Chains A and B, each alone.
Chain A
Amino acid sequence: MTESDYASQQLRVIRSLMERATIYRSLSAPTALVGGLLSFGGFATAYYSAEYLREPFSAREFLVLWLVILVLTCFANTLFLWRGSAQRGDPFFSPGMKSALLSVAPAFVSAAILSFMIHRPIHLAILWMAFYGIGLLATQQFAPRSLIVLGTTFFLTGCALLVSWKPLFMPPGHPEPSALVVSGIMAATFGGYHLVYAVAVWALGEERAEASSPATGS
């Protein structure tokens, strides 16, 4: 083996180890806080419309409401990630971000397509929970532990609701859950879980630890 081969091999080993060890947090704690609060705001909107205006949301309005919340949360996430990368002096489209986008894309694109083929709010909620969980779990090779726990929780909640929503929310003789009830489920999960995640990340100081690392990307 020549000197150059030897050096190249060493560099490959180092790169591979560093890639394995690098953490990328695709969902920052501030984003989770914003998303969580927006989810509760979404439920409040649905509640106000149903209880005070006497105009309960239709399935389409339910879809539009939660898509707006998704867009606002994604916008906030982009801002927070951009701010974080600027503070560290890293490029916004870091290798970590590219890996995260490629990992979540299959689950998120599938969910997006299916969202326009499904018309029942309860089915949409289950779909979003399960696929969001799958998307987050797809980043587990480089995601921090808290994000893996969040993904697992969403995935298991989606699966649990899939098998239990009928006996739980639609006992014999009752109509299927309204957009308001499903909005409540969305607030409890997308709102509640994200708030718990944000508090846990701050309490454990995870983001501070990652920010002081030269190779992280949250």
Chain B
Amino acid sequence: MFDFDRLDKLIHEKGRLAIMTLLAARAQWPFQDLKAELKMSDGNLITHLRALHQAGYVAYRKEILVRPQTKYELTAKGKKAFENYLEVLEEMVRSAKQ
């Protein structure tokens, strides 16, 4: 029987997993692009990003180019946590095949 406790509960939630996946695929994401890609409400996205930020998985910085925008990216801790999460999933698949 596989130990589900090994899956990072913070990442495992559907919305936060999608956010982590996008941030792992591209270096920086403006808030509006994340919102458009994930089709989430502002409030929902902010709540998830705040949780990930508090865990030290996501960093953000505010920029003013043409207009003010907040860009999000994974921290080293976030990258590691995401990689671990993938490894656990892959292990689940492998162990079932054996």
Contacts and interface: CB of A to CB of B under 8 A. Distances in A.
Interface of A: 2-4, 6-8, 10-11, 13-14, 17-18, 20-23, 209-210, 212-216
B2 A215 contact: no
B25 A7 contact: no
Nearest to B22: A21
Mostly helix, strand, loop or mixed at chain B's interface?
Answer: helix
Contact of B21 (A2, A4, A14): A14
A18 B97 contact: no
Contact of B24 (A11, A18, A210): A18
A213 B93 contact: no
Contact of B26 (A4, A11, A22): A22
Given A4-B96, A4-B97, A18-B21, A23 B89 contact: no
Interface in B1-58: 2, 4, 17-18, 21-22, 24-28, 37
A214 B24 CA distance: 7
A8 B86 CA distance: 11
A12 to B, nearest CB: 10
Q: Name the interface size band of chain B.
A: 20 to 34
Given A3-B92, A4-B93, A14 B17 contact: yes
A142 to B, nearest CB: 10
Interface of B: 2, 4, 17-18, 21-22, 24-28, 37, 79, 86, 89-90, 92-93, 95-97
Mostly helix, strand, loop or mixed at chain A's interface?
Answer: helix
Which 5 residue pairs are nearest across A and B when measured between Cβ atoms?
Answer: A4-B96, A213-B27, A7-B92, A21-B25, A18-B25
Contacts of B2: 3
A209 B93 contact: no
A24 to B, nearest CB: 11
A213 B96 contact: no
Contact of A3 (B22, B37, B90, B96): B96
A98 B97 CA distance: 31
